[in-house]
Structure 1
Amino acid sequence: MNDVIIIGGSFAGLAAALQLGRARRKVTVLDTGLPRNRFAGHSHGLLGHDHKPPLEILAEARRQLARYPTVRLVTARAESISGAIDDFCVLTGDGESLRARRLILSYGVVDQMPDVPGYAENWGTSIVPCPYCDGFEVAGQHWGLVWSGPQSMNQVRLFHDWTDTLTVFTNGHDLPPDIQADLARRGISVVNGRITEIDHAENHNATVRLNAGPPVAVDILFAHPRNKPSARLHESLGLATVDTPQGIALKVDERRETSVPGIYAAGDLANPLMASVTLAISHGATAGISAQQSMLV
C-alpha cells in the first residue's frame, strides 16, 4: 500500500512528492502530462527559475525526484476513488488499482475559452491572465483588459504599477456609472461592443475586432476566462468547494486538508485567490508535509 497517492503531477503535486520522498514515504504520482501553463513560453517570478519554460522546469523536477526510491511517477489518469482514510482505492485509466492511506488532489483546472476566433489560439502569448507572470516584459506599453465583472476593477488598479496606458474592452458588459466615472478619472479608454475576433501580430501584440467600431490594437491583452477543475473526482468524493469569480475551488484548511479526512488538495484546484507557480509549490509542499505528519504514530 502507498502512504500517499498524488493525483496531478505539475508544480503542486511534484512539490508534495518531494517532501514525502524525503521523508521516505511511499508515494505514487498520477499525471496526464497536461499542465495548465503549458501554453506559456516562459514562467516568471519563480525564484531560481525565472524566465524558464514551465515544461523545462517540470522536466527537471521529475529528474530530481528520480533519486528518491519511494517515489513513483506514473503517466495515467485517475478514473475513480473509493474508500476512506487509511484505505483509499484509486482506479486508473489503465485499469490499475492502487491503495493509499492518504490522497493529495492537485489535478488543477482548465481555462474555458470563449467561442471567439483567435482567443484559444493566442492564449498564453498575446492573451494572458496574470501581470505578475508577464507584466514586467511589457511594462510601459499599451495594455488591454477584457472586462469580466466587478473584480476587473481590481485589475485596473493593479495594472497601474506596470503601465499608464490601458484600454478596457467591455465585451457586452454594462459598466455601472460609478465604475465609468472612476475609469474616466484615471484616463482609461473604454471600448464598448462585443469582441468578435482577436488577431495576433508579433511579440505579444493583439488586434481586437468588435461587432461595432474599428479594431483596436494593443501590445498585450489581459483576460480572465472562467475555469473548471480538470477532473470531477472531488464531486464523487463530496468535497466542499468555494465559489470564485472565475469558477470553483476546493475548500481546504491551513494544512491543505479538504472536508474529507485524509484528503488534501493543492495548486490551482484549491487556490481561490491567485494562480501562481510559486503558490502552487508552497501549497503542494504544505499538503505533502501535512499528509506525512497525519500518519505519525
Structure 2
Amino acid sequence: MSDHNTYDVIIVGGSYSGLAAGMALGRALKKVLIIDDGKPCNRQTPYSHNFITHDGHTPREIAALANLQVNRYETVKFFYGLATSGSKTALGYDIQVATGESFTAKRLIFATGIRDIMPAIDGFAACWGISMLHCPYCHGYEVRHEPTGLLGNGETGFDLARLISNWTNDLTLFTNGASTLTFEQTAQLDKHSVRIVEKEIEQFEHSNGHLSMINFRDGTTSAIKVIYAPVPFEQQCSIPESLGCELTAEGYIQVDPFHETSVKGVFACGDNVTRMRTVANAVGMGTTTGITVSKNLILEEF
C-alpha cells in the first residue's frame, strides 16, 4: 500500500456529519480521506430548517458550502464513489471502493446515515421529504394550522397524533386498514377531534411530490396536502456490521459518549447512531467525533 493511499482517518460518508468531522480533523492537521457517493438521505427535501444560520436553505446549498469550506484544508482529500467493504489490518483498517481501489487508515469514522424503508403504496416514495414528512421539528412550522394527515396505527399512530396536535387542530389518522388502537386511545383521539380513517390506501396522488389526494381501495378519496409518516429504516452501509460493530435494539450503530463503536478505532456519527435526525445534530456529532478522533491520535503519537 502506497503512502498515497494511506491516511490518519478515513471518513465514509460525506454529508453533514462526515464533513463536520472532516473539518475538525483537517484543522488538527490530520491526513483525512472522505469517501462519498453523493446520495444523502435528504436529497428530495426542498428546504432544511432548525439549523441556526441556515434556516430555510436547501440541503444542496448547505452541503455545497460545507464542501467548499472543508476543501480549503489541504490535508483533507475526497474520493467520490461507493465504499463497498472494510477489513482490519496490521496498520489499522482498509476500505475498498467500487472501482477496486483500496485505502488504509489508523481510524475509521462512519457517517453513512440510514435508509428509509418505504411502504409499497404508489406515490409514497415520490412524496417523501416533500409533502410526506418524518419530523415536525424540521417541517412542522411550514404546514402549521393546515389540514394534516398521519399515516400510522396502534401505539405509534397514537403517539404521533399527540405530538402533531401541537402544530394543527385539523388532524386525520389514516390507519391503512383496521385500527389497532385501544379503546382508551380511540376515546382520547376523539376527545381532541382527531379523526380516524381505517380504509386501505391504494395511491397517493401528487404533482412532483406535492400531495393532493389519497385514493382508497374502496373507490373513495380524501383531499390532503401534507402527511406525517414514520417509517422503518436500515443502515445505509453494511461495513460497520461486517467489522463487528454492534447495533442497538432499534437498529442504530452503538457508540459510547465519545462516538466510538464497539470496535476499537472505529467511530460513527450522524443519523446512523441516533433517532435525533436533524442537520444541526448531525453537524454537532460530526464535530465532536472529529475532535475526539484527532485528540486520540495526537495523544497516541506523543
TM-score normalised over the length of structure 1: 0.94
Partner SS state of residue 74, structure 1: strand
Please tell me whether residue 217 in structure 1 is matched to residue 223 in structure 2: yes
Aligned partners of 1:198 and 1:209 also within 8 Å: yes
CA separation of 1:33 and 1:201: change in aligned 2, threshold 3 A: closer
Aligned to 2:283: 281
5+ residue gaps in structure 2? 1-5
CA separation of 1:203 and 1:263: change in aligned 2, threshold 3 A: closer
2:181 maps to which of 175, 185, 194: 175
d(CA) in 2 for partners of 1:149, 1:38: 30
Using the TM superposition, give the Cα deviation of residue 274 of structure 1 relative to its aligned residue in structure 2, in angstroms.
Answer: 2.5
1:108 maps to which of 102, 106, 113: 113
1:84-141, Cα deviation, whole Å (9 max, x unpaired): 6851111111222111111000111111111111111111222111111111111111
Using the TM superposition, give the Cα deviation of residue 202 of structure 1 relative to its aligned residue in structure 2, in angstroms.
Answer: 8.6
Aligned partners of 2:213 and 2:222 also within 8 Å: yes
CA separation of 1:104 and 1:149: change in aligned 2, threshold 3 A: farther
The number of residue pairs the alignment matches comes to: 293
Partner SS state of residue 256, structure 1: coil
Say what the alpha-carbon RMSD is for the aligned residues: 1.7
Aligned to 1:235: 241
d(CA) in 2 for partners of 1:168, 1:257: 40
Aligned partners of 1:148 and 1:224 also within 8 Å: no
Aligned to 1:163: 168
CA separation of 1:41 and 1:217: change in aligned 2, threshold 3 A: same
Aligned to 2:263: 260
Q: Which amino acid aligns with 2:221?
A: P
Please tell me whether residue 249 in structure 1 is matched to residue 252 in structure 2: yes
1:189-218, Cα deviation, whole Å (9 max, x unpaired): 000022111012599543112223621122
d(CA) in 2 for partners of 1:138, 1:46: 18
Aligned partners of 1:91 and 1:98 also within 8 Å: yes
CA separation of 1:270 and 1:203: change in aligned 2, threshold 3 A: closer
Partner SS state of residue 216, structure 1: strand
Using the TM superposition, give the Cα deviation of residue 259 of structure 1 relative to its aligned residue in structure 2, in angstroms.
Answer: 0.5
Instruction: Give identity over the alignment, percent.
Output: 37
5+ residue gaps in structure 1? none
CA separation of 1:254 and 1:148: change in aligned 2, threshold 3 A: farther
Q: Which amino acid aligns with 1:68?
A: Y
1:33-91, Cα deviation, whole Å (9 max, x unpaired): 00000001111111111111101210111111121000001101111111168511111
Q: Which amino acid aligns with 1:180?
A: T
1:235-259, Cα deviation, whole Å (9 max, x unpaired): 2112111133xxx111111111110
Partner SS state of residue 241, structure 1: coil
Q: Mean alpha-carbon deviation: is it higher for 204-213 or for 63-72? A: 204-213
Aligned to 1:90: 95
Please tell me whether residue 34 in structure 1 is matched to residue 36 in structure 2: no
d(CA) in 1 for partners of 2:83, 2:154: 35
TM-score normalised over the length of structure 2: 0.92
Aligned partners of 1:84 and 1:262 also within 8 Å: no
d(CA) in 2 for partners of 1:148, 1:76: 39
d(CA) in 2 for partners of 1:39, 1:23: 34
Please tell me whether residue 139 in structure 1 is matched to residue 144 in structure 2: yes
Aligned to 1:14: 19
d(CA) in 2 for partners of 1:85, 1:146: 50
CA separation of 1:212 and 1:202: change in aligned 2, threshold 3 A: same
Q: Mean alpha-carbon deviation: is it higher for 29-38 or for 82-91? A: 82-91
CA separation of 1:260 and 1:268: change in aligned 2, threshold 3 A: same
